[in-house]
Amino acid sequence: MDMKFMPEPYKVKMVEPLRILPKEERIEAIKKAGYNTFLLNSRDVYIDLLTDSGTNAMSDRQWAGLMMGDEAYAGSENWFHLQSTVQEIMGFKHVVPTHQGRGAENLLSQILVKPGSYVPGNMYFTTTRAHQELNGGTFVDVINDDAHISDNPDVLFKGNIDLKKYEDLINKVGAENIPYICVGVTVNLAGGQPVSMKNLREVYELSKKHGIRVMFDCTRYVENAYFIKAREEGYKDKTIAEIVKEMFSYADGATMSGKKDGIVNIGGFLAMNEEELYSKATALVVVYEGMPSYGGMTGRDMEAFAIGLKEALDYNYIKHRVEQVEYLGNKLSEAGIPIVRPVGGHAVFLDARAFLPHIPQEQYPAQVLAAEIYIESGVRTMERGNVSAGRTKEGKEYFPKLELVRLTLPRRVYSYAHLDFVAEAIIRTFKRRDEIKGLKFIYEPPVLRFFTGRFEHVE
């Protein structure tokens, strides 16, 4: 039988009712939120595609795991479970728990990044770059040029690092000023785009030649492994677990947000092989997160996380997840909506510049598009463009090439009927796009301004 889509590899055991506000109230709500979807109240949202971070539905096994929480201040049983799970899946020697991904980024950056350091990466991530810069480092984008082209459907590994750009940077600033290269798998801001195994291997070899550490931002590593299996020659018959193992053999360490591919609501860690880095990280974790046996998580959090890490390696789970994203992307694309192609692992990204060509980038087209989609439908999305990119040290806006609105799918939460509703709402918004006007800041926070900034319409 030819199925339109793969049925959910799970069934519903508990439900959370949804409600949709009348349109006039949605207009009021987004105005009150300063046209920033981050500032909407969750109760005013119908379908929440703001992020897939911590919004996952846990399994019955994970909920059962919560009851097994060992809430000891030190040496919790659940910590040992989490630690051995990470060691088994990723092959790293040491694990330092943190409350979420940015906790790990903070430790790593404080230990390794100094004024005068350069940290190359395959496109920036907001919190990752913020920590590098707060410690005096300079982020350098070494992603391949294709990643900056929104509609590029034939590029299968848009997250790949451009080895020439990386090598040029090494020659220019010297390997001694590059404490590590941060490799995102997948690359969130490029649209959830994967990095090929071949590229990971080559980046590792080049880094070793120059004595530079390779640190993965492995927040979305299962999605990356799925794309390698689906797209890269030689991996079709390998399990997700085998692919993941090989990926991590090309890294010296990693930062992880459990809120993504850990399929939990909170948690993270920093992992590494190096003894000295481990000892510095355990000294620092007590200052910012907690004991090296909980790092800001409760015992029950760690138990659910350990179970979630294992569940995420199930082929049917990850195939269904990525195919849901693909389904939504194809539906929009077929209706003529400009999106980032190929569709990535966790989200569909609308190309706001092509959607709203009459709004210049200094009037934040992606920000206003996210607000308009909410008004149209109660669906909450997120800006990933000029607002998210922030300002340089000199105070100038970055004007990134990609000006996007992200429709992020939480794991195991929404059905195909929800996705149809979302697609139709965006198609309706597209039809009335000429009436949409740009925005200006009325409050702009100094760092990570997208979280709490406020706007009003320009006349």
Q: Contact residues for ligand PLP (CB under 6 A)? A: 53, 100-102, 125, 127-128, 184, 188, 217, 219-220, 257, 259-260, 268
DSSP per residue, 31-49: HHTTT-GGGS-GGG-SEE-
Of 36 and 128, nearer to ligand PLP (C-beta) is: 128
Which amino acid is present at 10?
Y
Q: Please tell me the distance from the alpha carbon of residue 366 to that of residue 36, in angstroms, as a whole number.
A: 11
Q: Residue number with the shortest CB distance to ligand PLP?
A: 101
Which amino acid is present at 376?
E
Smallest distance from the beta carbon of 289 to ligand PLP, in angstroms? 12
Of 102 and 320, nearer to ligand PLP (C-beta) is: 102
Smallest distance from the beta carbon of 189 to ligand PLP, in angstroms? 8
Any idea how long the chain is? Answer: 459
3-state per-residue secondary structure call for 113-169 = CCCCCEEEECCCCHHHHHHHHHCCCEEEECECHHHHCCECCCCCCCCCECHHHHHHH
Q: Please tell me the distance from the alpha carbon of residue 221 to that of residue 204, in angstroms, as a whole number.
A: 16
Of 255 and 429, nearer to ligand PLP (C-beta) is: 255
Smallest distance from the beta carbon of 100 to ligand PLP, in angstroms? 3
Give the C-alpha distances (Å, rounded to integers) separating 190 from 27, 146, 195, 413.
30, 10, 11, 24
Which helix (H) or strand (E) element contains residue 27? Answer: helix 23-32
Smallest distance from the beta carbon of 222 to ligand PLP, in angstroms? 13
Smallest distance from the beta carbon of 353 to ligand PLP, in angstroms? 23
Which helix (H) or strand (E) element contains residue 170? Answer: helix 163-173
Of 101 and 120, nearer to ligand PLP (C-beta) is: 101
DSSP per residue, 84-121: HHHHHHH--SEEEEESSHHHHHHHHHHHH--TT-EEEE
Which of 147, 117, 142, 151 has the alpha carbon at shortest distance from 131? 117
Smallest distance from the beta carbon of 41 to ligand PLP, in angstroms? 20
Which of 114, 169, 113 has the alpha carbon at shortest distance from 140? 169
The number of beta carbons lying within 10 Å of the beta carbon of residue 184 is 28
Of 292 and 344, nearer to ligand PLP (C-beta) is: 344
Smallest distance from the beta carbon of 352 to ligand PLP, in angstroms? 20
Of 125 and 180, nearer to ligand PLP (C-beta) is: 125
Q: Please tell me the distance from the alpha carbon of residue 278 to that of residue 252, in angstroms, as a whole number.
A: 12
Which of 303, 313, 422 has the alpha carbon at shortest distance from 47? 422
Of 51 and 377, nearer to ligand PLP (C-beta) is: 51
Q: Please tell me the distance from the alpha carbon of residue 44 to that of residue 380, in angstroms, as a whole number.
A: 10
Of 111 and 448, nearer to ligand PLP (C-beta) is: 448
Catalytic residues: 73, 125-126, 217, 260, 384, 450
Smallest distance from the beta carbon of 219 to ligand PLP, in angstroms? 4
3-class secondary-structure state, position 6: coil
404-408 and 382-384 beta bridge pairing: antiparallel
Q: Please tell me the distance from the alpha carbon of residue 236 to that of residue 250, in angstroms, as a whole number.
A: 20
